[in-house]
A and B are shown apart, each in its own frame.
Chain A
């Protein structure tokens, strides 16, 4: 199906997210505005105004009641999805690079940037799922990353662990109750930043993408690298598709180098790999800048990508996407 082009942002997209029903897409960009869209037709549902700087991250709770955002104005904010009302603002010393709710929506974590004498941290707040209730300003947990700053982080299944990806290419596992560092393993090439970390639906494994041009699937409890997807371009994002065993990788030449090459060179394509066999099965073109984020519909019926070019492209998968099977998969299915 023809992709839907969401052209409501004036600057580069930084993150796009589906809600748990998959009917709404939230997008944040460097233009300070959060947008909500209907995923089936691309109509804009509304915007959330208030941030004073570029936005880096957005997440919606599992009931689509609360929305969390974070950005370069050193604030993390909580909004009511339905009304657009600003419920809470948490202030920090540095910008917020990543926010994420736990799977039950009762905890929210934020990753702060390392800058000018401030170490990167991961902070956790208890969240009251009632939009009318007063939200706490007290951090339930604060993890300081003194080795290498965290760039991305998220809660594991049942919020047992916090998994974080670092600027030096390593992945850490923290105890989500105590904040104790349990493991730290180099997953990607040394000093190649981990750019994204997205969960499988049941959060028992996750995919990381890195500037080292590869994406990897790791097990949540052992941090063992299960799968590796090698590409020829620095990656900004990676997502796992439900229903079909694929992963979608997005990236492209770094934005600052783009002007020196043609669009053909930039490799601004969403790449589909088979999750289990680690083979590339397809590419989707369209963006004319690097892809900053790819998100998959929770029901696996489509995906959307946010690009440096300022557009969100929403794709709905066609029948051949679902029909495609490797011979051995077909064997397995017929058992």
Chain B
């Protein structure tokens, strides 16, 4: 029987409340009251002196104590014992609690002389931790938790159909989906309110990152359980190191960590910081930093130029061993992992430095025994010194190559994905500063002495540039005029393709222009991660939403092969598509599919995504309300050797036959299912209708059975209506003389 008011046990009245032992609860939920003692500190470790020297000691002590705040008048109390000597400690009252905190932070463990070291603690802390019984006198070794098998973090790679996963963020829901080409994606997991602002994959796809007001969480494994969490209140952005060993979190607002705002795993030292670099394996912070304010500059008319924050600010070398940050115009600070100490204890002074980029892979330079990490930087013209581009090797700090440039107004650094080249896109102004031109300075990093090749045939301003991943071809977009902000119709752009000439031996020839497509609206370049194919698109535009799919290694028919035979590319525009309101383009990590997204982050028109294959054939389109993000799950680098990959490529034909059969079988089952489903629906409906009509017949519903028409007595009498239609075909007026 369920308990009710009537049958409650009566002997409850005899219950004595004072008998209950609440101490465990009290301890657990102990409230720290503001005792008004926050401005007090206890200074310990002082020399023991007789009474007459006490004043001298106090004076000496005050000099130290006043360096961090103001000690109240008569704020030092140094008790005497029975023998008239001091006890070696003193109570000090500051004028504000914050000063007391500072005193603890700065004065604790300062040596007074050879034998005495001052210990400064807050009075409340002494009270809290120093009370007898609060801390166990005996040492117990920490208990080591038994080993627990963790989930396999890369299980998704073992999909028998080698499908790729993508994360969908729409409305408040985040889901990870298997790509099913033209069919609706199959959800692997779908959760409400999984993130507060956005989601992000780690660079090798192991973790899904969710953002929260309290910090960042990493998710993974087959069950999508929480793997790690990094408490960083107010976090805005997150960045991973390339090998997923470390993660940087950044908040616009400085961190607030103090007694009243405790943050798990962060200490008082992290107070006021903006960046925290974490070790992913342990979940512990390594070091925190504050934001460096970029000196505000003014443009030609004296208006302050709003600087965009560079993200990531802390840039990782490709092996996760170094992380570097630039202090614009002054220096680059390189930190060594995992200790996070400044390399050689000093920042690298580079006067005027504007930007730097690490090589995205280990640069295998010719004639070097031990390969080192490399970064590229540039400095503008300073006084009579020309602008410079330099390559620096780390940790030796050797400058491998520099190059002087003139009339530089801006430069952008573009590394090729294997670190074989770095292209410096230099925007140059004429002497009068009226016309602009762009030079491409391509550093051949792998070749001896790092030769530089200049492509200066570009008259127009280059607005975008992208290397072929793992290749040596590139695409750039130029425009006749610089697109001004606020202009409704952006100027037409041209898309140009470049590739190296064919050269004898195992060298890469000079870069040559292949072809330019004029009168485009495109402004964005998205290479397939495997190279060869590229999508050039018009994003964030009001008028045009074109997507052009190019193939750079298309096999020309034989008779056509004579032309351009000295080039290492055969360019073809494969397909053109349009996706209204497109804001983002995402290649899947295998280069088989392209997803284009109209994200609700940018606008609210026809949010959703399109799925194309690499040739630009539309496979699927879906409109989803408040669709925000679609990101493919990255894959870690392949474990197959070059030879094994070549072997697979050789036998591709045999494999593809197998895959085609599988696809066909799958499609047939799916089709059969759809047809079955329809047949079932139709049969159900017909049966139901039959039922209903029988019911109406039983009820004698004549009107309803007649389709709502009331049978009249005079029905059947046919009334003939004659309608005469006159149509005037032509009207002419003739004057008869």
- Please give, as numbers and ranges, the residues of chain B lying within 8 Å of A62 by CB-CB distance: 703, 708-710
Q: Which of A21, A62, A242, A328 has the most CB of B within 10 A?
A: A328
B681 CB-CB contact with A under 8 Å = yes
- Please give, as numbers and ranges, the residues of chain B lying within 8 Å of A202 by CB-CB distance: 692-693, 696, 701, 704-705, 707-708
* Partner among A221, A265, A332 whose Cβ is within 8 Å of the Cβ of B682: A332
Q: Are B692 and A204 in contact (CB under 8 A)?
A: yes
The minimal Cβ–Cβ distance linking B720 to chain A, given in whole angstroms, is 16
A103 CB-CB contact with B under 8 Å = yes
B695 CB-CB contact with A under 8 Å = yes
Q: Are A157 and B704 in contact (CB under 8 A)?
A: yes
CB contact under 8 A between A261 and B605, given known A158-B701, A202-B696, A277-B678 = yes
* Partner among A104, A261, A264, A332 whose Cβ is within 8 Å of the Cβ of B686: A332
A298-335 CB mask vs B (1 if < 8 Å, else 0) is: 10000000000000000000000000001111011000
CB contact under 8 A between A328 and B678, given known A62-B709, A103-B708 = yes
- Please give, as numbers and ranges, the residues of chain B lying within 8 Å of A326 by CB-CB distance: 678
The minimal Cβ–Cβ distance linking A157 to chain B, given in whole angstroms, is 5
- Please give, as numbers and ranges, the residues of chain A lying within 8 Å of B623 by CB-CB distance: 232
CB contact under 8 A between A204 and B695, given known A62-B709, A103-B708, A332-B686 = yes
The minimal Cβ–Cβ distance linking A328 to chain B, given in whole angstroms, is 5
B580 CB-CB contact with A under 8 Å = yes
Q: Are B682 and A328 in contact (CB under 8 A)?
A: yes
A219-238 CB mask vs B (1 if < 8 Å, else 0) is: 10100001000001000000
- Please give, as numbers and ranges, the residues of chain A lying within 8 Å of B701 by CB-CB distance: 157-158, 202
CB contact under 8 A between A265 and B703, given known A62-B710, A204-B695 = no
A276 CB-CB contact with B under 8 Å = yes
B712 CB-CB contact with A under 8 Å = yes
- Please give, as numbers and ranges, the residues of chain A lying within 8 Å of B699 by CB-CB distance: 157-158
Within 8 A of B (CB), among A259-277: 261-262, 264-265, 276-277
- Please give, as numbers and ranges, the residues of chain A lying within 8 Å of B705 by CB-CB distance: 202
- Please give, as numbers and ranges, the residues of chain B lying within 8 Å of A203 by CB-CB distance: 704, 708
Q: Are A277 and B681 in contact (CB under 8 A)?
A: yes
B648 CB-CB contact with A under 8 Å = no
The minimal Cβ–Cβ distance linking B134 to chain A, given in whole angstroms, is 54
CB contact under 8 A between A329 and B682, given known A62-B708, A204-B695 = yes
Report the bound CA distance from A262 to B696 in whole Å.
Answer: 48
The minimal Cβ–Cβ distance linking A50 to chain B, given in whole angstroms, is 27
The minimal Cβ–Cβ distance linking A150 to chain B, given in whole angstroms, is 23
B685 CB-CB contact with A under 8 Å = yes
B96 CB-CB contact with A under 8 Å = no
- Please give, as numbers and ranges, the residues of chain B lying within 8 Å of A37 by CB-CB distance: none
Q: Are B692 and A276 in contact (CB under 8 A)?
A: no
Q: Are A226 and B708 in contact (CB under 8 A)?
A: no
Q: Are A104 and B692 in contact (CB under 8 A)?
A: no
- Please give, as numbers and ranges, the residues of chain B lying within 8 Å of A264 by CB-CB distance: 580
Closest B residue to A265 by CB, please name it: B605
A63 CB-CB contact with B under 8 Å = yes
Q: Are B708 and A158 in contact (CB under 8 A)?
A: no
B675 CB-CB contact with A under 8 Å = yes
Closest B residue to A327 by CB, please name it: B675
A286 CB-CB contact with B under 8 Å = no
Report the bound CA distance from A64 to B366 in whole Å.
Answer: 95
Q: Are A201 and B707 in contact (CB under 8 A)?
A: yes
B697-733 CB mask vs A (1 if < 8 Å, else 0) is: 0010101110111101000000000000000000000
Closest A residue to B712 by CB, please name it: A63
Q: Are A232 and B704 in contact (CB under 8 A)?
A: no
B344 CB-CB contact with A under 8 Å = no
A196-224 CB mask vs B (1 if < 8 Å, else 0) is: 00000111110000000000000101000
- Please give, as numbers and ranges, the residues of chain A lying within 8 Å of B712 by CB-CB distance: 63
B566 CB-CB contact with A under 8 Å = no
Report the bound CA distance from A311 to B699 in whole Å.
Answer: 41
The minimal Cβ–Cβ distance linking A133 to chain B, given in whole angstroms, is 17
Q: Are A20 and B605 in contact (CB under 8 A)?
A: no
CB contact under 8 A between A276 and B685, given known A158-B704, A205-B692, A264-B580 = yes
* Partner among B606, B625, B710 whose Cβ is within 8 Å of the Cβ of A104: B710
The minimal Cβ–Cβ distance linking A16 to chain B, given in whole angstroms, is 17
Report the bound CA distance from A205 to B216 in whole Å.
Answer: 52
Report the bound CA distance from A203 to B703 in whole Å.
Answer: 10
A53 CB-CB contact with B under 8 Å = no
- Please give, as numbers and ranges, the residues of chain A lying within 8 Å of B675 by CB-CB distance: 327-328
Report the bound CA distance from A264 to B695 in whole Å.
Answer: 46
Q: Are A20 and B580 in contact (CB under 8 A)?
A: no
- Please give, as numbers and ranges, the residues of chain B lying within 8 Å of A327 by CB-CB distance: 675, 678
Q: Which of A21, A276, A326, A329 has the most CB of B within 10 A?
A: A276
* Partner among A103, A232, A277, A332 whose Cβ is within 8 Å of the Cβ of B703: A103
Q: Are B679 and A63 in contact (CB under 8 A)?
A: no
- Please give, as numbers and ranges, the residues of chain A lying within 8 Å of B681 by CB-CB distance: 276-277
A42 CB-CB contact with B under 8 Å = no
Closest B residue to A220 by CB, please name it: B692
- Please give, as numbers and ranges, the residues of chain B lying within 8 Å of A21 by CB-CB distance: 709
Within 8 A of A (CB), among B674-694: 675, 678-679, 681-682, 685-686, 688, 692-693
The minimal Cβ–Cβ distance linking B51 to chain A, given in whole angstroms, is 81
- Please give, as numbers and ranges, the residues of chain B lying within 8 Å of A63 by CB-CB distance: 710, 712
- Please give, as numbers and ranges, the residues of chain B lying within 8 Å of A3 by CB-CB distance: none
The minimal Cβ–Cβ distance linking A288 to chain B, given in whole angstroms, is 17
Report the bound CA distance from A192 to B710 in whole Å.
Answer: 36
Q: Are B708 and A20 in contact (CB under 8 A)?
A: yes
Report the bound CA distance from A326 to B696 in whole Å.
Answer: 29
Closest B residue to A129 by CB, please name it: B710
Q: Are B708 and A201 in contact (CB under 8 A)?
A: yes
A105 CB-CB contact with B under 8 Å = yes
Q: Which of B675, B682, B685, B704 has the most CB of A within 10 A?
A: B704
- Please give, as numbers and ranges, the residues of chain B lying within 8 Å of A332 by CB-CB distance: 682, 686
Closest A residue to B677 by CB, please name it: A277
Report the bound CA distance from A329 to B679 in whole Å.
Answer: 8
Report the bound CA distance from A204 to B679 in whole Å.
Answer: 23
- Please give, as numbers and ranges, the residues of chain B lying within 8 Å of A157 by CB-CB distance: 696, 699, 701, 704
A232-263 CB mask vs B (1 if < 8 Å, else 0) is: 10000000001001000000000000000110
- Please give, as numbers and ranges, the residues of chain A lying within 8 Å of B692 by CB-CB distance: 202, 204-205
- Please give, as numbers and ranges, the residues of chain B lying within 8 Å of A103 by CB-CB distance: 703-704, 708
Report the bound CA distance from A62 to B580 in whole Å.
Answer: 47
- Please give, as numbers and ranges, the residues of chain A lying within 8 Å of B710 by CB-CB distance: 20, 62-63, 104-105
- Please give, as numbers and ranges, the residues of chain B lying within 8 Å of A277 by CB-CB distance: 678, 681-682
Report the bound CA distance from A219 to B704 in whole Å.
Answer: 15
Closest A residue to B705 by CB, please name it: A202
Report the bound CA distance from A265 to B708 in whole Å.
Answer: 38
- Please give, as numbers and ranges, the residues of chain B lying within 8 Å of A104 by CB-CB distance: 703, 710
- Please give, as numbers and ranges, the residues of chain B lying within 8 Å of A265 by CB-CB distance: 605-606
- Please give, as numbers and ranges, the residues of chain A lying within 8 Å of B696 by CB-CB distance: 157, 202, 204
The minimal Cβ–Cβ distance linking B627 to chain A, given in whole angstroms, is 11
- Please give, as numbers and ranges, the residues of chain A lying within 8 Å of B605 by CB-CB distance: 261-262, 265
Closest B residue to A232 by CB, please name it: B623
Closest A residue to B581 by CB, please name it: A265
Report the bound CA distance from A57 to B444 in whole Å.
Answer: 77
* Partner among B682, B703, B708 whose Cβ is within 8 Å of the Cβ of A298: B708
Closest A residue to B681 by CB, please name it: A276
Report the bound CA distance from A298 to B706 in whole Å.
Answer: 11
- Please give, as numbers and ranges, the residues of chain A lying within 8 Å of B707 by CB-CB distance: 201-202, 242, 298
Report the bound CA distance from A154 to B135 in whole Å.
Answer: 78
B616-635 CB mask vs A (1 if < 8 Å, else 0) is: 00000001010000000000
Report the bound CA distance from A84 to B88 in whole Å.
Answer: 111
| Contacts A62-B709, A63-B710, A204-B704 supplied; 14 other A-B pairs, CB < 8 Å | A21-B709, A62-B708, A104-B710, A157-B696, A158-B701, A158-B704, A201-B704, A204-B696, A226-B688, A262-B605, A276-B678, A328-B675, A328-B678, A332-B682
Instruction: Give me 5 A-to-B residue pairs in the complex whose CB atoms sit less than 8 angstroms apart, sorted by A's number.
Output: A63-B710, A201-B708, A203-B708, A265-B606, A276-B678
The 6 A-B pairs of least Cβ separation, nearest first, read A204-B692, A202-B704, A201-B707, A157-B704, A328-B678, A276-B685
